[in-house]
Structure 1
């Protein structure tokens, strides 16, 4: 394919994406021509595009490198590629309008549109996602998942060393060109969401570890908190996106490199092993007769609440959170507050829809030295367990596949890490202590 044909096809895809019109074709082609260091273009009539956007991108980048207009170092290439793919991405106002138009038909159609846009414009690393491999290992708690993830440079979601943007979850990233040690976001788009009068942004994770991995972050750069408003937002999000789960990390430093300086939630179109785990011991809340409540069979202590009434879950979740924050048990040497006054207890929460029911899983977390290591063993990444791991899935390097019996070994070490992080041990005495907490509610 000639470079003129590549430019013509790329301009066609840009027009089809909805951000440009046919009247803009010459302008688009000339912009692309200049970006890759070309000066003339042979006539090439528009026709059906048979190559993918990624294939056309690769040809444009190759030509730009031949012409010496872009360096070959990964950071400069990423910035250049994002600038090219920005042509295939309508402006934020247009993307939000298209999302709303699709949402009028169904929430699923809206996220399908937005996800496919992020794949076509290469904001989501589609090739890496397609190369992911999933394995399962059977345990007494059901199947745990092991994800073999290709090597992709993942963003750290840490505080920026400069004032702008403050971190990688800020709205100011939308369209940001990137710089050394800070990712390009030229082709990022964010769907605005109104959650109880507050502005939040829905966007996808570039280096996804599971299907349609998404982030919902506050417009304001504010620290992660866990309170009644958290539960209300989670319920609102699964009402708006009923085919997605949404989860909240803890507000204590339990989850390693996750960003606790910018309030956000994780979401996606994925049924994790925790969602499949069953309730093994039911109990009741007298004030909420429509609610099912029980202990889930899981390595970590999980309370599951189900109700057709969202507000019941919000109020009950808040009650459990407040009780757990101050809960101590002398029989197992559990203290809610450290000697220096630091709080040790908090939750992770995962919300989902089950037909007419709203469902909320509350994972009890303890930040005492006995539990806070959360470190997975040598086969898995040296990191503390985050929401994905708590729900029963862990990411490992592809090189492990060459290790004999690696799958069983990783599964057992992952299970051990989950069990070690549990505030209540799986022993009879530990489970009796868990039930003492339930009885205190």
Structure 2
């Protein structure tokens, strides 16, 4: 019984519950244990949960004994001692009226304390930096998000004919308090952006500080439109401490979830924010800049929200139909190809929007995408270059940790590993250059590859013809 007492003690210490008995009685009933008077037991919560999960599996309370199923049952257990969804919303709104920062701190720390935000797994990620010609680029080898266990896949196949109810995707609001997606400990907050209902939550596998998701109330597809800019600016009025941005709304240059309209935000400084300026233009009380960044980016800064919205909408609409065949930019062929990745933030008292121009066309030379990582860099990164990468934070696959260790062994000692075949031309070149002597040198080589990844995604290359074309495009938007 001690682990159950310890879990209830944890809820009491965090002031989530006042009376221990209702939670304790439900937990004792779940574990088929006799009622017993409560006593305080103070143990590390990670150890407590391991004991309760092991016992739960032995009792047949969940199966199979995989990481995903253990996560789901752990979230279920935390739900016994944490505030309910309605209580969490009321507390957040009450705190927000008193002090905005206290409200977000409350939800953020609650999400960590119940292990919805997987802080210990996130700490396993490998992070390093690369001093590129565009400024420092950040890179993370993502080890925190678990791969699918074959047993979980088999279980899903067994249930494939069961009528699906509840959430249609992993970010629907119906995931809150949902067992199947290990979300019994998820708490979300409703917010209104430009007269439309959205929901705010934190990301369980945070890629950066206070990584959050703002999701549409309805399960509707991603859509880049004039209203998008209103949503962005409304959110940074709601919380000026955070940035907010959106993946593009079309395949190849968009994110991994295109069927549910959403934004991402957080309290983080990204490399793109420090980019140098190539050329600036003044439009009334707004400064427009073409910044020196591998993805073609226009930065708008103004204290006048109306001016900012007007110019942002004009850029989006002009870009939708922009063509420059000499640069392989064609807006319409087998579909619509031009869209944007927008990012908004507050800088002192001014609004700032970065508009990254995107195009998802393919051709025979680049069947995965003309402005997508080309095949010579796909051994490092072949996935879509979405919002986070576009801002200068590489999210690299977890396989790279072991592959880089073996790659360094090859460079230094000539050890051959058949599984490194996809990296072999690159490793051969690095070995011949005699410039890689340790892991830091090899990580720098990865950083250089990711710099090239970002360059591939830029529609206006940072050469004379690309800079001139960008200038002509901007001029067409501000006349």
5+ residue gaps, structure 2: 149-158, 409-440
TM-aligned CA deviation for residue 379 of structure 1: 4.6
Structure 1 residues 108 and 424: CA distance shift in structure 2, 3 A: same
How many angstroms does 1:295 deviate by? Answer: 0.7
Count of residue pairs brought into register by the alignment: 420
| 2: CA distance, partners of 1:10 / 1:388 | 36
Name the TM-score, length of structure 2 as normaliser. 0.82
**What is the Cα-based RMSD across aligned positions, in Å?**
2.3
The yes-or-no answer on 1:83 pairing with 2:76 is yes
1:104 is paired with a residue whose SS is helix
Residue 45 of structure 1 corresponds to which residue in structure 2? 39
2:450 alignment counterpart: 414
* 1:166 corresponds to 2:168: yes
8 Å contact kept, 1:379–1:400: no
Gap change, CA 1:223 and 1:378, over 3 Å in 2 = closer
Q: Deviations over 1:343-375 (max 9, x none)?
A: 111100000111101110000101122524346
Q: In the alignment, which of 320, 325, 332 is matched to residue 327 of structure 2?
A: 332
Report SS of the residue matched to 2:200.
Answer: strand
1:132 and 1:98 map into 2 onto residues whose CA distance is 33
The 5 A counterparts of 1:86-105 are: 86-105=79-98
CA contact (8 A) 2:253 2:360 kept: no
Q: 1:362 to 1:262 in 2, by over 3 A?
A: same
Q: Determine whether 1:248 maps to 2:246.
A: yes
Partner of 2:9: 12
**Aligned equivalent of 2:185:** 187
SS across alignment from 1:284: strand
Equivalent of 2:132, from 130, 139, 145?
A: 139
Q: CA deviation at 1:332?
A: 3.1
- 1:53: how far off? 3.2
The answer to whether the 8 A contact 2:247-2:254 is kept is: no
- Structure 2 Cα separation of the partners of residues 76 and 37 of structure 1: 20
**Contact preservation (8 Å) 1:17, 1:90:** no
Deviation, structure 1 residue 18: 5.0
Q: Which residue of 1 aligns with 2:392?
A: 392
Range moving further from structure 2, 372-381 or 28-37: 372-381
Shift of 1:82: 1.3
CA displacement 1:37-95 (0-9 Å, x = unmatched):
43465x55326x4x343332222213323444433133332221111011233112211
- Name the counterpart of 2:56: 64
Distance 1:439 1:260 in 2: 32
Measured in 1, the distance between the counterparts of 2:168 and 2:252 equals: 22
- Does residue 382 (structure 1) correspond to residue 385 (structure 2)? The answer is no
Q: 1:14 to 1:153 in 2, by over 3 A?
A: same
The more displaced of 323-332 and 222-231 is 323-332
Deviation at 1:233, TM superposition (A): 0.5
Using the size of structure 1 for normalisation, the TM-score is 0.89
1:249-274 superposed Cα distances (whole Å, 9 cap, x missing partner): 11111346521111100111111101
Q: For 1:425 and 1:79, locate their aligned partners in 2 and report how far apart those are by CA, in whole Å.
A: 46
Gaps of 5+ in 1: none
Contact 2:122 2:144 in 1 (8 A): no
1:32 match: 27
Closer, same or farther: CA 375–84 of 1 in aligned 2, 3 Å: farther
Per-residue CA deviation, residues 194-241 of structure 1 (Å, 9 max, x unaligned), is: 112211000011111111111000101111111111000100111111
Contact 1:37 1:69 in 2 (8 A): no
- Aligned 8 A contact 1:232 1:311 in 2: no
1:378 CA drift (Å): 4.2
- 2:350 — aligned with what? 357
1:190-339 superposed matches below 5 A: 190-255=188-253, 258-285=256-283, 289-338=284-333
Cα distance in 1 for partners of 2:105, 2:184 equals 21
* Aligned mates of 1:231, 1:412 — CA distance in 2: 33
Q: Deviations over 1:277-299 (max 9, x none)?
A: 132310122xxx21111111100
